[in-house]
Amino acid sequence: MEYKFVKTESKGAYAIVNINPTQGFNLLTREMMAEIVSAVEAYDRDETVKVIILCGNDKSFCYGIDMQEFNSEINNLPALWDTYRDLFVRFNRVKKLLIAQAAGYSIGFGIEIMLNCDIVIAAESLCLGIPEASLGIIPGLGLSKTLEKVIGKGKAMDMMLCGRAMIAEEAESVGLVSRIVPLKELAHETEKTALKIAELPLATIIAIKENITSLAKAEYESGIDETVERKRIIAASPEFHEYLSILGGTGV
């Protein structure tokens, strides 16, 4: 299948899905997210593939939602959230092992994509940020519950309400990142890891993933539904639109 926003490559027992490699910071749109999910699902159905690597480029894993799309949908945000909800639920249900190869910026929905992967191998340049509150909206979809569970309420609130960035070293120390490697070794280390895991029987890989993530997956989908409903309430409130007008009428 031909894609506009992702590049795919099969390497036998593992495959690579590269998020929009030609764009500098990988701004996420519905169409791009749909292609990411479609590509990952295609490899999930491929009996020859055991592990899927998801990567961006050296500048950015994913820089979060494209503000042009957000601005164009400002009067129809519930439909936008519903589309993303369905796509993230599908992504969350992938059975094969997902490895995120992350460098540079991972912002907003970019963090959510990254944390929906099972292993995160990061470059020292990785920087995480959650700026959605500055736009008057709740961050992510199931991201709030995921972060609170992994890094605790205090750090999660600090990142979400104060916009505090988190660099790779801290992300590893709190369990958001599996390991850190130098940028020049990132692709090699990720593929070496994928190849090592792919030596195992597929049934074993899937069973271990399901044992570890089954409860988290259910909690994540519950968190998505709760967050989407809260996003609907915010989008309908006069305060939200008044806040946007203070920002310049578009939320930028």
Structure tokens at 178: 């599996």
Produce one character per residue of 139-165: b if its CB has 16 or more CB atoms within 10 Å, e if not. Answer: bbbbbbbbbbeebeeebbeebbeeeee
Asked if 19 and 64 touch (Cβ cutoff 8 Å), the reply is no
Q: What is residue 57's DSSP assignment? A: -
Cα dihedral: 98, 105, 109, 242 (round 10): 180
Asked if 240 and 234 touch (Cβ cutoff 8 Å), the reply is yes
Beta strands 179-181; 127-129: pairing state: unpaired
- Cα separation, 237 vs 154, whole angstroms: 27
The per-residue DSSP string of 195-226 comes to: HHHHTS-HHHHHHHHHHHHHHHHHHHHHHHHH
Which residues form the catalytic set? 112, 132
Helices of type H across 93-201:
109-115, 143-151, 153-162, 168-173, 186-198
